């Protein structure tokens, strides 16, 4: 009992340390004053200033477009990469490819951003929307692979064998057997890639240019000029969006698991009859 109580206490302390700064950020976004020193009354003026700022609105759209496109493309490429790793017959080759995939996950963001900057500079690629999009796709692919590969390992291989015995071609096996089974992993990879893209700063900071910017870079630039409560309002909205993404993924994954559980119960009942 003591161990359980101490573990619960530790968990609550961690949650408080994590969420207390966010709590103050959100609260002060409704402050009538202009600084985070003292409470001058409740006001929505910082949100009104935020929605009246056309540059911020443009940057928000840029950020979401990059996040959506990069996560979609990364989900397709990452799923294909996971299938390639899974189908490798050579254990050594499989380990090598998987290790190369994980390099981007363990490498510091500063190193990745600087590497992309050097690459784009050497090949003469102009910095802007495309450079940011390509960079986000690149660092999102390993995340998708990491989410999809465990689902492939959990997949019942007899399903693929049965599909082959029934005369299914490769595309039919992929679209009707494999993808439906690993879809929770693909969905998790998509949401993880989308979230990483939304809040990435280090890589984006190196490869952005030509007037193109994302929210993380813009917030950093404005914070250097002085803390404005408009930044609090923007950060509060981004936190709400991230929370909604997490809840959406939770409900979708829970619904998928419930469907699988129901299907298993029906199958067991049918076999019993």
Listing DSSP states for 124-160 in one string gives: TPPPSHHHHHHHHHHHHHHHHHHHHHHHHHHS-HHHH
| Under 8 Å between Cβ of 33 and 40 | yes
Element (H, E) at 236: helix 229-272
| pLDDT range class, residue 272, cuts 50, 70, 90 | low
Token look-up 């992929």 returns 174
Least confident of 14-18, 157-161, 256-260: 256-260
pTM assigned to the model: 0.79
| Nearest CA among 114, 122, 124, 106 for reference residue 207 | 114
**pLDDT higher at 166 or 79:** 79
- The answer on pLDDT for 73 being more than 90 is yes
Q: Do the Cβ atoms of 132 and 214 come closer than 8 Å?
A: yes
CATH 1.10.101.10 given to domain 19-255? no
The arithmetic mean of pLDDT across residues 181-188, rounded, is: 87
Task: Choose among 79, 78, 265, 120: nearest CA to 207.
Answer: 120
State yes or no: pLDDT of 34 exceeds 90: no
pLDDT score of 67 more than 90: yes
Is 80 exceeded by the pLDDT of residue 40?
A: no
The mean per-residue pLDDT over the stretch 28-46 comes to: 78
Instruction: Name the residue ranges covered by the structural domains of the chain.
Output: 19-255
Q: Does the pLDDT at position 179 exceed 70?
A: yes
User: To the nearest whole percent, how much of the chain has pLDDT over 90?
Assistant: 21
């Amino acid at each position: 009992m003591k161990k359980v109580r101490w573990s619960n206490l530790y968990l609550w302390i961690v949650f408080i340390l994590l969420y207390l700064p966010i709590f103050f950020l959100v609260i002060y976004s409704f402050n009538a004053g202009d600084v985070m020193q003292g409470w001058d009354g409740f006001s929505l003026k910082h949100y009104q200033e935020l929605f009246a700022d056309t540059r911020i609105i443009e940057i928000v759209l840029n950020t979401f477009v990059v996040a959506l496109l990069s996560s979609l493309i990364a989900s397709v490429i990452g799923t294909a990469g996971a299938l390639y790793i899974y189908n490798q017959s050579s254990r050594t080759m499989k380990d090598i490819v998987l290790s190369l995939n994980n390099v981007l996950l363990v490498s510091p963001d500063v190193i990745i951003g600087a590497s992309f900057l050097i690459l784009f500079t050497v090949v003469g690629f102009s910095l802007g929307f495309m450079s940011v999009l390509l960079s986000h796709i690149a660092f999102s692919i390993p995340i998708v692979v990491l989410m999809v590969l465990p689902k492939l390992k959990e997949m019942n291989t007899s399903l693929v064998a049965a599909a082959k015995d029934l005369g299914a071609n490769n595309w039919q096996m992929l679209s009707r057997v494999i993808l439906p089974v690993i879809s929770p992993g693909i969905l998790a990879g998509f949401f993880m890639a989308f979230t990483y893209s939304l809040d990435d700063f280090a890589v984006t900071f190196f490869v952005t240019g030509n007037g193109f910017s994302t929210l993380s870079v813009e917030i950093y630039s404005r914070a250097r000029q002085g803390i404005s409560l408009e930044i609090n309002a923007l950060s509060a909205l981004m936190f709400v969006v991230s929370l909604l993404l997490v809840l959406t993924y939770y409900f979708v994954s829970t619904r998928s698991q419930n469907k699988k559980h129901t299907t298993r119960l029906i199958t067991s009942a049918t076999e019993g009859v």
